[in-house]
Structure 1
Amino acid sequence: MSAIVTLKKGEGRTIKAGGAWIYDNEIDTIMGSFENGDIIIVKDFDGYPMGKGFINTNSKITVRMLTRHVDTEINEDFFRMRLQAAWDYRKKTVDTSSCRIVFGEADFLPGIVIDKFEDVLVVESLALGIDRVKNLLINILKNILKSDGIIIKGVYERSDAKVRINEGMQPFKGFIGDEFDTNVEIIENGVHYIVDVKDGQKTGFFLDQKYNRLAIQRLCKDAKVLDCFTHTGSFALNAGIAGAASVLGVDASALAVKQAQENAKLNHLEDSVTFICKDVFDLLPELEEQGEKFDVVILDPPAFTKSRNSIKNAVKGYREINLRAMKLVKDGGFLATCSCSHFMDYELFTKTIGQAASNSHKRLRQVEFRTQAPDHPILWAADESYYLKFYIFQVTSDK
């Protein structure tokens, strides 16, 4: 018999709206014996059954919901159903050669991310309950892919995020099963990359920007392009392969720049796409002082805030780089700008860009607004699943 978590009266608004998390301060009682990571039943204050989920009293997110049906058995068949649905969805919505197959709560498998890079899987497990079944999930998924003719040659775990400590677990990275070459070549939008799944950022590559990178290609033919926070060169290389006259990619990480240069050679773009290691906040004023102008400027910064407490400083950072970037865009040129911080929501990000435009005496014409690729689905009522905001503007003088 599962333990039963009963909510306080008036609590549980998030899961009632379709979300997946129950916080510690929403719980009235926990009846019955359990170990952290076990599956428990959740009931409302009046005894109404609300579903089943993993429990972990070490975490402020005490319950992560798996199903809204208390009579559903959480077993191998249940996880097979969830994983098959996740894979079927990707086959309909994205290029699956490299894609995110499982996106945690948005795929109703809370706390786990599974990315596919050609014939390699990279797993990030961030919650205790799901961590206990991750090997089962991997085996099921490999069989699902095999039935579609996809043979996975290796699995690497990148559960090295500090948030695992909140779950009572230590960060971890390493092979699951046989070892393999962790530098994996992928092709996205016609661009070749070497993805370092062992030491690259997150799971090795930012798949969420796939179609945003494609969207800038048509703007970049014969253009002079500046790509800021280029990381391993993804936007810069999309500009290059689209026929840009010249592309300058900038990143503060020497390791990332080295990888970007190797990716440029891989695509035979080293003559037109170059990279430098420098802090973008230092470089942009220098370029402005030198009188440099670009047809296209791209801003793809890391998240400037990962908590509500640092939003004010993040706003200053986003406003500063957008202001500087607008000044570097030729009259009638284009700015692509984004934020990958969940806490920098759409309204605040939009307002900040507007302030930058006003302060730089520029007028913006919105070309399009985009979010993350469909393999990172946004689950309404699970706000944490919506994090990427991406604008393309035409920039003109305020005359």
Structure 2
Amino acid sequence: MTMLLSHSVGAGPAAAPRSNEVVHRRCTAVAHATRQKSGASTSKTSDVDVDGRGPTMQSSTRGRTKAGDITKRETKPHKARPPKESAPQGDDAGEAGEGLEGLDELLADEGAVRQLRTSLLASLSAQHEQAMRSEQMTPTTPDAEASGSPPALPAGAATITADRRTTTPKHNTDKSATINGDGAAAGVPLVVLKKDKARLFVSGNPMVYGGAVDCVIARPPPGIGEPVMVTDASRRPVGWGVYNPHSMFRVRLFQMQSEVEADPRVALNVPALVQLRVRQAVELRRALGLPSADTNVYRLINSEGDRLSGLVADVLGDTVVVQAGAGWVQRYRQDVESAIRAATGLTRVVWRPLWRILQEEGLQPPDEAAEADTGTETEMLEVREAGLRLLASPKGQKTGFYADQRDSRGFLAGLVRAQAAAGLPVSVLDLCCYSGGFGLAAAAAGATRVLGVDSSEPAVKLATANAELNGLSATASFVRADISDFMKAAVAQGQQYDVVVLDPPKLAPDRSALARARIKYLRLNTLAMRLVRPGGLLMTCSCSGAMTQSNEFVGMVVEAAQQVGRQPTLLREAGAAADHVLNPAYPEGEYLTNVTMRLL
């Protein structure tokens, strides 16, 4: 696949280095100060200041870095001058896929494991000492950086080439990025955090925002997806991850230093780590009973939850649909696909780059004619969920199927089944029905009448086809309409249902839109409640992460009930299905809220 990158990158862990090298910002000041202390060492394990709270533990920020943490320099608009790197060619390009080759042999040799661990720790010390010896490292002043001019140089310093962010001594051409037997690792880039920022990541938060970074020491400058070591302000290791000079997420951490010390096999090796994490994700889904005889559509990899930030993959029968939502994922596409095939035994992978996000990560979409993709717009796959046969498109909404609501569809089916078993008729209104998941689950459980509404004609056709596929056309029907207009007309006609499901699209893409989104949610829910018969049920949802993380959704639903004079009883509040695993240190991964209430 042809890629146009702001920094040209290869398929492997590191692009071919250029002659220029980088060192920057205030690191030099730290280096000169540290050099005055003879015998200083930074190779020991970090004992960062921990106050018991990271950003993820503070209710006011819900895990985000505060806005004030982002420096003016980081947020100031500028036209970056990307480094000119060339992608590895020939044999070099293939080295990225070697992954865990020889891993078993390495494990069998305990001495080799100890040596590798020692080498990794010693590498930081070696790199630090080398930085201390360098007389070319000069702090970049804010004025110089803002103007794009090179900083002032000490007498006798080498000529510096500046690119707004970094200064590069031309004569230093050390290109090594390997950890060899004597512990040297001069080519591994260092990302040094600001003072006291390391504590934010002790709990396992994987996202290092640009505002937390003090400086980067690297030769050449790290590009998109390049492995880097992250240290605290004293150069004590915090962990390692992948770098992106363009992203607000400057580093996505893959391993904390304690993990590296315990098991160094995949340290600084992105293909090997991907292979390991994908295998762990598959094993976890099997523990959850997925796939099973009656369900073969599910979330396989859930970004930060599976510790592969930016990577999402869903299994649709015998096909895996991958969403690439980070620059490193796109760079290591071949490694990701290979790892998925090896771990699942499924050979077909449909790759779906999220270009709106990837452009923010410094990538540009290739010409559509050059973009190879194994999916097609009209292709339909048949999958199974709880025994229902359903059609899904690998090129449809999300990955083609909303597996995140599987548990909630099962909950609704259980409620309907209980009513039907008691001989009670159950009518269901499924608003924003898409492929008919909720309505068809209710129909299969014994609902006497199901009506689905969606504003998308393709969605209505898909839901209708799914009803026919399961022999439920006599019970379930679907119409195209704007849901607000539909509900207003239905209220005017005095229509009421035993169960109303309201599952609108994302209304708050970020926190800045939350206030406006809350008004929309309130209006939709007041209309929906007017369509619920006394004693009936409302299942209402929000897939807006900003709303879910604000903990305002239930309160908004209660307010809607008060506005229409209904008395709500909360039966259930849930998130995404169990296969959408979460990293507890990163609550931003929570996005879905599903609330079921009885309305008197």
Matched, 1:205 2:431: no
Amino acid in the other structure paired with 1:48: R
Matched, 1:216 2:393: no
Q: Which residue of 2 aligns with 1:78?
A: 273
Deviation, structure 1 residue 189: 1.5
User: More displaced, 24-33 or 136-145?
Assistant: 136-145
Partner Cα separation in structure 1 for residue 436 and residue 385 of structure 2: 13
Q: Which residue of 2 aligns with 1:262?
A: 465
Q: Of residues 542, 548, 552 in structure 2, which corresponds to 1:348?
A: 552
Deviation, structure 1 residue 375: 1.1
Q: Of residues 205, 219, 228 in structure 2, which corresponds to 1:19?
A: 205
Q: Of residues 154, 163, 166 in structure 1, which corresponds to 2:357?
A: 163
Q: Which residue of 2 aligns with 1:187?
A: 384
Amino acid in the other structure paired with 1:122: V
Are the structure 2 counterparts of residues 191 and 50 from structure 1 closer, same or farther at C-alpha, using a change threshold of 3 Å? same
Matched, 1:374 2:578: yes
Partner Cα separation in structure 2 for residue 327 and residue 251 of structure 1: 19
Q: Of residues 259, 263, 283 in structure 1, which corresponds to 2:486?
A: 283
Per-residue CA deviations over 1:6-40 (Å, capped at 9, x if unaligned) read: 01113245423321111111110100122222000
Deviation, structure 1 residue 341: 0.9
Q: Which residue of 2 aligns with 1:247?
A: 450
> Normalising by structure 2, what TM-score?
0.63
Q: Which residue of 1 aligns with 2:255?
A: 67
Q: Which residue of 2 aligns with 1:31?
A: 217
Matched, 1:53 2:238: no
Matched, 1:327 2:530: yes
Provide the alpha-carbon RMSD of the alignment: 1.9
Q: Which residue of 2 aligns with 1:360?
A: 564
Are the structure 2 counterparts of residues 230 and 179 from structure 1 closer, same or farther at C-alpha, using a change threshold of 3 Å? closer
Moved over 4 A (4+): 171-181
Partner Cα separation in structure 1 for residue 281 and residue 347 of structure 2: 20
Partner Cα separation in structure 1 for residue 289 and residue 210 of structure 2: 37
Deviation, structure 1 residue 55: 0.6
Contact 2:299–2:314 at 8 Å: present in 1 too?
yes
Amino acid in the other structure paired with 2:240: K
Partner Cα separation in structure 2 for residue 137 and residue 289 of structure 1: 53
Partner Cα separation in structure 1 for residue 297 and residue 310 of structure 2: 21
Partner Cα separation in structure 2 for residue 14 and residue 243 of structure 1: 51
Amino acid in the other structure paired with 1:264: A
User: More displaced, 175-184 or 49-58?
Assistant: 175-184
Contact 1:100–1:375 at 8 Å: present in 2 too?
yes
Contact 1:94–1:375 at 8 Å: present in 2 too?
no
Amino acid in the other structure paired with 1:363: Q
Contact 2:378–2:393 at 8 Å: present in 1 too?
no
Contact 1:14–1:20 at 8 Å: present in 2 too?
no
Amino acid in the other structure paired with 1:357: A
Matched, 1:310 2:513: yes
> Normalising by structure 1, what TM-score?
0.93
- Structure with bigger strand share is 1
Structure 1 stretches of 5 or more lacking a match?
147-151
Per-residue CA deviations over 1:206-233 (Å, capped at 9, x if unaligned) read: 1111111111012334311100010111
Per-residue CA deviations over 1:221-264 (Å, capped at 9, x if unaligned) read: 43111000101111111111111111110011111111111111
Give 3-state SS (helix, strand or coil) of 1:343's partner: helix
Contact 2:188–2:228 at 8 Å: present in 1 too?
yes
User: More displaced, 153-162 or 100-109?
Assistant: 153-162
Deviation, structure 1 residue 142: 1.2
Give 3-state SS (helix, strand or coil) of 2:546's partner: coil
Q: Which residue of 1 aligns with 2:431?
A: 228
Contact 1:12–1:22 at 8 Å: present in 2 too?
no
Partner Cα separation in structure 1 for residue 290 and residue 383 of structure 2: 12
Q: Which residue of 2 aligns with 1:40?
A: 228
User: More displaced, 299-308 or 62-71?
Assistant: 62-71
Contact 1:14–1:381 at 8 Å: present in 2 too?
no
Per-residue CA deviations over 1:150-200 (Å, capped at 9, x if unaligned) read: xx24211111341111011235786556989831100102221111102x1
User: More displaced, 322-331 or 65-74?
Assistant: 65-74
Give 3-state SS (helix, strand or coil) of 1:262's partner: helix
Are the structure 2 counterparts of residues 179 and 166 from structure 1 closer, same or farther at C-alpha, using a change threshold of 3 Å? closer
Partner Cα separation in structure 1 for residue 375 and residue 567 of structure 2: 55
Deviation, structure 1 residue 140: 2.0
Partner Cα separation in structure 1 for residue 496 and residue 392 of structure 2: 32
Give the fraction of aligned pairs with identical amino acids, expressed as a percent. 30
Aligned length: 390
User: More displaced, 253-262 or 130-139?
Assistant: 130-139
Amino acid in the other structure paired with 2:234: D
Between structure 1 and structure 2, the one with the greater Rg is 2
User: More displaced, 30-39 or 327-336?
Assistant: 30-39
Matched, 1:122 2:316: no
